[in-house]
Amino acid sequence: MILDDKLGRDADAFYNALMDAHEGLDETESHALNARLVLIFANEIGDLDRLKTLLTTARQNTTS
Amino acid sequence: MAYDYAPFPYTPPPGLTQPEPRHRVVIVGAGPIGLAMAIDLAQQGIASVVLDDNNVVSVGSRAICWAKRTLEIFDRLGVGERMLAKGVTWKVGRNFHHNEQVYAFDLLPEPGHKYPAFINLQQYYVEQYLAERAQDFPDLIDLRFLNKVTDHADHGDHVTLDITTPDGNYTLEADYYLACDGAGSATRTRMDLPFKGQTFEEHFLIVDVEMETSPFGNHDTPERWFWFNPPFHNGQSALLHKQPDNIYRIDLQLGPDTDPQIEATEAKVIPRIKAIVGDTPFRLDWMSVYKFRCAKLDRFVHNRVIFVGDSAHVVSPFGARGGNGGIQDLDNLGWKLAAVLQGKAAQSLLETYNTERVHGSAENILNSSRATNFMTPKSPIEALFRDQVLDLAADHPFARKLINSGRLSQPCTLAESPLQTPGDAPVPPGTPLLDAPILDAQGPAWLLSKAQGSFTLLTAGPAYLPDIAGIARIGINQSNDYPCYRSEDGHVETRYGTVKIYLLRPDGHVCAVFDTPDPTAIIAARDRALGATL
């Protein structure tokens, strides 16, 4: 599966906002923030088949 | 061969022996910005005195990447073609992660432009060519080297300057004081103006090496190569550019905890270069260790003192937005200051230099800060995200777009500025003109070289352009009693359409568009661009 670019011109602004969301958090807090983000994004997507594909895709990129 | 730094001649200024009449413009700083500023004003008949505390061009290559829009401005100033002929043309950037290419971008994929996306040219050549061009205006540009400004005072309707030379001190008066005195601006310091922004903790080593063998390997075409975690420089980033005279620029990230005094020594640098180029013989031409800053003044215009270039704003170099942003400053200021001094506009027009270029520099700082943040993660979580973006990029297009090794200099849009009359067109108000090939009586030519330097009406449609004092006219694919040219390969029609009439400012930006050649509407838009409605 190919993950096409949907962020377009906002890619840099999104990435920057994501880094800002982590600003000042320690690693445990950042880890928790990421977990919350995954759950919130999953609810936004709201499609189990799509979510399962995304989970598999992310897992395939695990390098370790 | 190393560049020959020939000193510019110093002549004792007349002010040492008797008071000089008040000058219209004094430009402080004879770097690329100050010199280009003087040329721009001279082309409009405005005389200036240029003061510099030094008498040689920039030592070291420093600013090397000159963007298409900058070259188009240099074209208007009469030095674009010389820069292009000497410079190394490039348009493709490649990003690598370890040894693998993860993303490549083409900054000018279409043909039909006089100037390329970028040239690389050492700052010392740019300054030399500008200084030589300035000498074409002996009656309008008074270049004074080894003239150091030690103090200045704004008296409301003029500025006084205290200057020291090898032969003693003198004072000057000027209507306007243009501070082109660079990132460490002494003018800014004297005025105690806050220069706010972000300092990055990483040290970067910048090295120029001369060598016969190209480190780009089998790639004949010079490109911009950027590595995240390259095999030759573990855990850091690296950037490679080619310059003229077989000189290559290598930028190496060193991390925050390095000692610049120790790093900028041959003993430390030569092994780093050998790790990249192998056993190829090379000569170390110049090196420097930097920390980068993104900062700007809140305002660039302070009554009769106006900041232009690095004195007003500095950025990290990833994106080539420093020198290029400065050239866009003077392009914006030149015609406005000339109009004010010639009585064609009120002094309030200069306030729009402030708003338009504060806007432009804020965009440059935003892009440069984001790139530097991506390249230099400041926490483990930022490093984690950065590394995962790089890993995902191998398979997924969206992640390639997130890789940020610098978003390279583009002109900003001035659509929100009150000088532009809102409107819709293929080239909308607020954007610089798009170049295209045309045919003139002598043969192939470029629209760009015909359409900048004065208010200009331009159309590739059927309309007859009205004769209005102070506004030049260009018809494409027409035969009328004003300059008309044939379009080559249909590029003008493709870029501008065949309906709209465009009004260009002297800096080549579209300031209004029309469906019909109504002289009243055109005059109103021109007057608005000169600040009539401010």
Q: Which residues contact B453 (CB under 8 A, 6 or more apart)?
A: B43, B76, B506
Among the partner-chain residues A3, A8, A12, the one whose CB lies closest to the CB of B407 is A12
Check the CA dihedral B210-B216-B218-B222 and report its sign: negative
Q: Does domain B437-529 have CATH number 3.30.465.10?
A: no
Chain A residues inside the 8 Å CB shell of B402: 7, 11-12, 15
Question: CA angle, B139 as apex, B133 and B141 as ends, to 5°?
Answer: 50
Give me the domain span that covers residue A40.
35-64
Nearest to B54 by CA among B40, B37, B35: B35
User: A64 in a domain, yes or no?
Assistant: yes
Q: Where are the beta strands (DSSP E) in B5-73?
A: 23-28, 48-52, 65-67
Q: Where are the domains of chain B?
A: 14-87+120-195+294-367, 437-529
Is the CATH number of domain B14-87+120-195+294-367 3.10.580.10?
Answer: no
A5 and chain B in contact, CB less than 8 A: yes
Nearest Cα residue in chain B from A8: B401
Is A1 part of a structural domain of the chain?
Answer: no
pLDDT exceeds 90 at position B261: no
Residue A50 is assigned to a structural domain of this protein = yes
B237 touches chain A (CB under 8 A): no
Contact flag A61-B397 (C-beta cutoff 8 Å): no
Lowest mean pLDDT segment, chosen from B111-115, B209-213, B216-220: B216-220
Q: Are strands B501-504 and B510-514 parallel, antiparallel or unpaired?
A: antiparallel
B235 sits in the region (left: phi over 0; alpha: psi -120 to 50; else beta) called: left
> ipTM for the complex?
0.94
Q: Which amino acid is at B449?
A: S
**Torsion over CA: B159, B58, B140, B355 (sign):** negative
Q: Report pLDDT for B323.
A: 96
Q: Which residues of B are less than 8 Å from A3 in CB distance?
A: 392, 395-399
Instruction: Please check whether residue A38 touches B, CB under 8 A.
Output: no
Is residue A61 over pLDDT 90?
no
* pLDDT tens readout for residues B34-90: 999 999 999 999 999 999 999 999 999 999 999 999 999 999 999 999 999 999 999
What's the pLDDT at B220? Answer: 65
Q: A60 or B531: whose pLDDT is higher?
A: B531
Nearest chain A residue (CA) to B371 = A12
Rounded-to-integer distance, Cα B274 and Cα B276, Å: 5
**A61 inside domain:** yes
Q: What is the pLDDT of residues B373-389, one digit of tens each?
A: 999 998 999 999 999 99
Give first-to-last CA distance, chain B, whole Å.
54
Tell me the pLDDT tens digit for each residue of A14-36: 999 999 999 999 999 999 999 99
Q: Residue A63 domain-assigned?
A: yes
Q: What's the mean pLDDT when you consider all of chain B?
A: 96
**Is B355 in the A-facing interface, judged by CB distances under 8 Å?**
no
Tell me which residue in B381, B401, B404 faces A30 most closely, judged by beta carbons: B381
What percentage of chain B exceeds 70 in pLDDT? 99
> H or E element: which one contains B456?
strand B456-459
A12 touches chain B (CB under 8 A): yes
- Is A3's CB within 8 Å of B399's CB? yes
pLDDT-derived band of residue B13, with 50, 70 and 90 as boundaries?
very high
**Chain B residues inside the 8 Å CB shell of A2:** 395-397
Longest dimension (CA), chain A: 36
Q: Mutate which of B401, B407, B410, B413 to disrupt the A interface (most A C-beta within 10 Å)?
A: B401
Of the pLDDT bands very low, low, confident and very high (cuts 50, 70, 90), residue A64 is: very low
Q: Tell whether the model's pLDDT for residue B190 goes beyond 60.
A: yes
User: Would residue A43 count as lying in a domain?
Assistant: yes
Q: How remote is the C-alpha of B177 from its chain's centroid?
A: 21
Report yes or no on A26 lying in a domain: no
- In the block, tokens 């003693």 appear at B168
B370, B374, B391 member nearest A61 (Cβ):
B391
Is residue A63 scored above 80 in pLDDT?
A: no
Q: Tell me, what's the pLDDT at B216?
A: 81
pLDDT at A1: 53
Q: Is A18 on the interface with B (CB under 8 A)?
A: yes
B443 sits in which H/E element: strand B443-446
Chain B contact probe: residue of A9, A22, A41, A64 with most B CBs at under 10 A = A22
Mean pLDDT to the nearest integer, B121-150: 98
Residues of B with CB below 8 A from A18's CB?
385
Contact B352, B417 (CB under 8 A): yes
Arithmetic mean of pLDDT, B88-117: 94
pLDDT in tens, B299-332: 999 999 999 999 999 999 999 999 999 999 999 9
Interface test with A, best of B98, B381, B389, B390 (most A CBs within 10 A): B381
Tell me how close the Cα of A39 comes to any Cα of chain B, in angstroms.
18
- CB pair distance less than 8 Å for A3 and B373: no
Count up the domains in chain A and report the number: 1
What is the DSSP secondary structure assignment for residue B114, as one 8-state letter?
S
**Amino acid letter, B231:** P
Confidence of residue B217 (pLDDT cuts 50, 70, 90): confident
Any CB–CB contact under 8 A between B479 and chain A?
A: no
Cβ pair B385:A12 closer than 8 A: no
pLDDT one-digit tens code per residue, B448-493: 999 999 999 999 999 999 999 999 999 999 999 999 999 999 999 9
Does residue A55 form part of some domain?
yes
Chain B positions touching A25 (Cβ under 8 A) are 381
Q: Do B395 and A2 lie within an 8 Å CB cutoff?
A: yes
